Each structure stands twice: as C-alpha cells, then as structure tokens.
Amino acid sequence: MSARRLTAATLLSVAVVGAALAGCSKKDAATSSDAVQVNASDSACELSRTSFPAGTVNLAVQNKGSKVTEVYVYAAGDKIVAERENIGPGTKATITSEIKAGEYEVACKPGMVG
C-alpha cells in the first residue's frame, strides 16, 4: 500500500467481467439497496461488503468523522478509477463507477481537501 494513504483501506474483489471503466460521482446519497455502504471516520474506512459483480457499482459514503474526508477507489498500480472529494463531517455522498473484474482498494482520507 502506498505511503500516501493515511487511513485504513479495504480490498474489493469484483467477481465477473464488466463494462469499460468510467468513473464519475454525484453528491446525493445512494437510495439503492444494492449500494456498498462506506462508513468513513477519522481513523477507519469500513465497507458493508467487499465482493460484488463487475459493472455499475454504487458506493454510499457516510462521513462519521469530525474532519472532511475523501474516498478513492484504486486499481492495480495505484490507478484512480473513482473518487469523491470534500465529504463534510456528518454528510453523505454517492460514488458511481463502472468497474471491471479484478481487485481494487478503497481508501478514505480524513482531513484532506480537494
């Protein structure tokens, strides 16, 4: 894991081949029951599950910490495939991305500002 990651990170295994990679994000909270819940705090980054099919993936982020946080999804070689910056304390955000089959890392970075 790269030294630039300041908090705990979680590896994701994506089970089936999906569509081409295209990351984007939106600010509203996820309403879909199939979204992966991400609880970010000042010292941890916890996911509700770490395995799911390739394709469109929704990460429903809730910042439970006291600092602004950022959430990144990394592919091999520290390639950023999705990100969301400036998630304030007590707020929620959704990250939606097309993810191919493989292993990824999700990192929460409290105290970071974009």
30 is written with which tokens? 């996820």
Q: How many residues does the chain have?
A: 114
pLDDT at 18: 31
pLDDT at 2: 46
**How far is it, in rounded angstroms, from Cα 2 to Cα 64?**
24
Contact (Cβ atoms closer than 8 angstroms) between residue 41 and residue 64: yes
Q: Taking the domain 9-108, which CATH number applies?
A: 2.60.40
Segments of the chain scoring below 50 in pLDDT: 1-4, 6-8, 14-31
pLDDT at 113: 61
- What residue spans define the domains of the chain? 9-108
